[in-house]
Structure 1
Amino acid sequence: MSTLDEPAVARPLPAPRPSATRARRSRPRLPYLLILPALAVSLAVIGFPLIRVIVLSFQQWGVAQIFSDAGPPFVGLKNYTRILSDPVFWTVVVRTLVLTVVMVGLSMGVGVGLALLMERVHGWVRGVMTFSLIMAWAVPTFVSTQIFAWMTEQNFGILNYVLGLGQHNWYTDAKQGLAVATLIVVWGAVPFITVTTYAALTQVPAELVEAARLDGAGGRQVFFGITLPSIRPVLVIVTALSVIWDFSVFNQIYILRNGAPSPDYQTLAIYAYMQAYQGHEYGYASAVAVVTVLLLLVVSVFYLRQLIKTGEAE
């Protein structure tokens, strides 16, 4: 009998795959249950104040309303209309944006540069750098700001002595005072950026770097072709966090100016604070705070989009 006459052997049919609905139902619920307590605390701590600020932004709340039994009247969009027509507010916005760009640029540049340096050094040098960065990171903002204030003090500051400036006052000119505040912010941000970026550099595939060098690639080609694409997700996260933190800078400037920063020193956070606790215009200050949050949401949306693009590329 030829092979054509052989009976066909029946092959077992593959087992049916579970439907997407069934697979979705079979997902464990324990992770979601474990998240619930933290989510509830976050909503209670952040959600209620945020809702309260939004409500206040539509009200006229001042000293008269605090001592009145009638309560604050709703004024609709009056506070937001005032923001749009207030030239001081837009000056503060521009100042905040410029400071944010400078602070983030310097922090990222110095932080990434130190991370690349840590990758090249070995042994005890890297250990000393890591220890120094962590110690600088551990210093509270109040302490580091006071240290810089003492260094730039007009009569006994070491900076004037080293530079031979005599009794130069660094805070008469707001540009110089904000430069000192920028240095303090960069000082506090660089350790976090450096350690995080260095951790990302340690995860760059060594075999890809070696293969590129064997093919004749130089240091610049290896960095832009392999290293930078590998650490890009971490850089996006760190940059977004730095923008959010620096856009809301408050403590450094407030402490440097002894709790009374002049209008030339005010950022959005300080401007809202001064309107509320010195001008006693809590409704208008709440509207400024809401606008600040909306501006930060724009950065957050950009950050999320970059993460999604990175995930799709991978």
Structure 2
Amino acid sequence: MNISISQRTDTMSAAIVTGPGTLRIETLPLPQPDRGQVRIRLEGCGVCASNLVPWSGPEWMQFPTEPGALGHEGWGVIDAVGEDVQGFAPGDRVAALSYHAYATHDIADQSAIAPLPTALAGQPFPGEPLGCAFNIFRRSGITPGETVAIVGIGFLGILLTELASAAGARVIAISRRPSSLAAAKQAGAGAAIAMDDHWRIIEEVKQLTDGRLCDCVMEAVGKQWPLDLAGELTKERGRLVVAGYHQDGPRQVNMQLWNWRGLDVINAHERDPAVYMRGINEAIEATAAGRISPSRLYTHRFALEELAAALDMTRDRPEDFIKALVICDE
């Protein structure tokens, strides 16, 4: 497939997913912002694991997608503003909560963008997943001295490890990949356990906690077994935080266990755009102040025309992979 990204100023390039595991890049007219909106010349967009089920082509998925669809972790520079936009102007660098960001340009409401300070100049900033980490952490209610297990150490799990450790919690990281466990230790985890045998993991956590299990367990995978494991690791009256994105079908839960232990089960997914933006702004402030360091987690970069490879790598998660970015402008 011969594809290229247009350099003309009156057009944009955008990815269109045409079927399971296939896409093309099209050159299209630049969109114009409506009242209260801005247009962003995107520098890049993070690749989210939530894209993987649509990418696989489930029955409910409709192809072709809208141009740029599935991309929602964009950042870049405003190059046009609509009427009644207040506080933003062309040239401002922002993180955006927009939904067609697998493209060179996207439109966002002025309420869905956050300014990036000069301290972050030149740094990628996929705001949506960073904001999610802060929102999940807030919902978890972690306090100093608690023992927290994080099941699934990818981009989100490492950020949650960093936040929980900084809050004074003892973190037990659980992941299938040695490189992920090493990253969790670097982020402050006090213990790292290979996610292989269900009952061995439970016994190891019991040993680490003198049989008490964990005050809070965060499930950050989005699959059945890690959810089952997370429940088993949560102590009586503990908190089970569902941070994984369970979009590939129904789940069964051990309600007998959850009931008997009196677990507080927290679905940490947000849907209110204002809450998303609060998390994004908190992430911007923390990154600019050096309290978190996400740049080291962006392990792989792809051009827009390499989006298919970026999605495949996010699905396959080879050793040393943490987070892929699609880069449009450097």
Q: Considering the TM-score relative to the shorter chain, is it more than 0.5?
A: no
TM-score bracket, shorter-length normalisation: under 0.3
> Could you tell me the TM-score, scaled by structure 2's length?
0.23
- In terms of fraction of residues, the more strand-rich structure is 2
Q: Which has the higher contact order (CA 8 A, sep 6+)?
A: 1
